[in-house]
Structure 1
Amino acid sequence: MLSLIRLPRVFTVHQVPKAFQEDSIISGYRHPRSSATDCILSLFQLTNETLNIWTHFLPTWYFLWRLVSVVLIQDAWHDAYAWPLLVFLVSCCIYPLASSCAHTFSTMSTSARHICFFFDYGAISFYSLGSAVTYSAYVMPDDWVNSTFHKYYIPIAVFNTIISTAMACYSRLGLPFLHYNHDTIKRFPECPKPKLGQLIRILSFAFPYLFDNIPLFYRLFVFAGEDANPLHYRHIALAFLTVFLCATHLPERLAPGRFDFIGHSHQLFHVSGIIGTLFQMQAIETDMRLRRQWLSEHSAPITFLGTFGAATLCITLSLVVIYLFSLSLLWAPSMKTQQKQKAKGRD
């Protein structure tokens, strides 16, 4: 039966449009106008995207299992203290799933590629908010609890996630309807300065991360009076490793073509990010358990608005941002329409 399945052909970097090319990746590209079936079949052949997909798709199921366990076994719905953990676990399920879907279907067309990664960026931003919600509830330093910073921490985190999504989307094509090229068939070329676009994208995710982790950095590196959870150190180390891999494109930049299928920076970026998330989840659960009694006596009660309300607002506004950036792509004039317009102009 497997011999009857014809796997899609793969291409070299010179055979695909610039929008699909990756730095120092020479081979293993899928057809830039693949069908949805071809995209799914490509999961079972070795391309330069295969491990990008599986390194995030498989962990999604683990985080989903953890979410279901918390809901059903710990009966978290009836315990407000567990609500921040639920928001975090939902974000841990969404961001790797969105990433795997983006990498799977990004070769259906140029516009599909951009829209897929718009959703990927929104999911990463939501994961940032999920982290902030748990840090506000379980990780905040003792002397910061109920402070002015603590009161405005979640609203600022929501604002940062929306700005993060918008800046990441902007880094690909610029502003919708203003910077997109509406006069040609190739109406949305890549940013003329891809390095600048990459820098904006990295900063758009680094800034929310740094802000969200201010309470944690204070506990670990400034206030020596609190016990340091080693899992937090591991999570921070892996977080900075993911940024390093994303910014440097190592190791493939040292040997273009050698790491096209296995071992290039984006695969390592996915693996380090997922392991970092796992350490983060374990560290949060440890703080949640050990600090419960003290927090219940000194911290303000956890509310629906500060947990699920903030998450809902973040998702809604991020979808609005993604819609605005995607709308002008979806309005692309078809080839036949353009040919008719040209024919009328000649007449």
Structure 2
Amino acid sequence: MPTEVLHRLSTLSLTSVKQLGRLPRLSSSLPALPAPRPTLAASEVPTLFREPHILSGYRPAGQPWSSYLLSTFQWHNESMNVWTHLLAAPLLLLRCWSLLEGAGGPWRLLGDVAALPLVLYVVSALTYLACSVAAHLLQSRSELTHYSVFFLDYVGVAVYQYGCALGHYFYGSEPRWRDDILGGLMGAVYLPSAALLAWMSCACCCFAKAHYRRPYPPRRKVVQLIPTGLAYVLDISPVAHRLLVAGDWQRDDDGALGFHAAQVVFFMMAAMFFSYPFPECCLPGHCDIIGHAHQLFHFFLALCTVCQLEALFRDFLARRAAILDVHGGELVVGAGVSFFVLVLCCLATAVWMRRTVQKRLKDQQA
């Protein structure tokens, strides 16, 4: 990994640590959650809210919305899940602004059709971060809220998947990848397939969340990971081609490939921690507040996004003049329209699944 990549990541990490260091002081200055105890043991909360090997740090259900908003600054087992992505969003915006300033100012992108996929990528990244923060911050209020915000979280993930696909296709793909793979059809099927797999990822994750009960069987993870994994393999294929086949390392003057390699490494680490509850499976009760797998998943996914932004922006600057000549303005605009169509389809899926769960919960209470 290039020295520049390590330097930028270390700078961002130090900034994040300094911000997180303020959390205990903020926590001590704010009122505790309005309950006999601010957090509860796993045995004291409904089964739906329990996580494997996490034995304490659960917030009580049924509190006012303000209690869960205030819990942003309280210590519980979702604190780091919230803060890892809550800090990543402004860091991403600040870095994006800095990159645009270095390229002549953000206003130069206005009216530039070639910049549309980059703008949509940034929107998709901020969307998944915001949805993730909302899910982990508010999910403890009630069972219906729990399902609703995690359905929204899956919408954010699907939107981010397609945002990545747009960036990789328009800025990161090589002619040989578009013309040689699948007999020259890769360029024609890539974006429709990426959109379909993104929606399937949202639908399957929503279905798995609604259908399976805790303790979750292994097939639930399979239902979630298969479409998500297929989407990632397709979305990253232009970058993988450049890293492994095209031999771009010899002419990587702008340093984009180093950041592309870093984003792949960080995503693989994030996927590993998402797939298996380590280290809490070896240390039940010792990683409840800090250090469990989902927190590490969030951390490495945020690093992946930061590196991805750097790589795509460098690719955009290097190839900006030729983007419309290579792909055509109609395809770029059409891809932008398809982005919003995907958002609507995913939202409709989440709303439908929420109504299904709401009906089931009402039937159970009757």
How high is the TM-score relative to the length of structure 1? 0.86
Look up the match of 1:181: none
**Which of the residues 233, 240, 246 maps onto 1:223?**
246
Look up the match of 1:132: 165
Look up the match of 2:286: 258
RMSD over aligned Cα atoms: 2.5
**Which of the residues 178, 183, 198 maps onto 2:221?**
198
1:5 and 2:28 matched = no
1:32 positional shift: 2.7
How many residue pairs get aligned? The number is 324
Query: 2: distance between equivalents of 1:77 and 1:58?
Result: 27
1:78 and 2:111 matched = yes
1:239 and 2:267 matched = yes
1:305 positional shift: 3.5
1:59 and 2:85 matched = no
1:75 positional shift: 3.0
Query: 2: distance between equivalents of 1:222 and 1:207?
Result: 20
Kept after mapping to 2: 8 A contact 1:99/1:120 = yes
1:162 positional shift: 0.8
**Residue identity opposite 1:112 in structure 2:** T
**Bigger mean CA offset, 252-261 vs 68-77:** 68-77
1:50-199 paired onto structure 2 within 5 Å: 50-65=79-94, 70=100, 73-145=106-178, 147-174=184-211, 190=213, 193-199=216-222
Q: Write 1 or 2 for the structure with the bigger share of helix.
A: 2
1:5 positional shift: 2.7
Kept after mapping to 2: 8 A contact 1:83/1:307 = no
Look up the match of 1:310: 338
Listed one character per residue, the Cα deviations across residues 286-337 of structure 1 (whole Å, up to 9, x for unaligned) are 1112233454544433645433201101101001110110112233565998
1:50 positional shift: 0.8
1:3 positional shift: 7.0
Query: 1: distance between equivalents of 2:270 and 2:189?
Result: 28
**Residue identity opposite 1:271 in structure 2:** F
**Which of the residues 300, 306, 315 maps onto 1:278?**
306
Kept after mapping to 1: 8 A contact 2:278/2:292 = yes
How high is the TM-score relative to the length of structure 2? 0.81
Change (3 A) 1:275 1:192: closer
Which residues of structure 2 form unaligned runs of 5+? 1-27
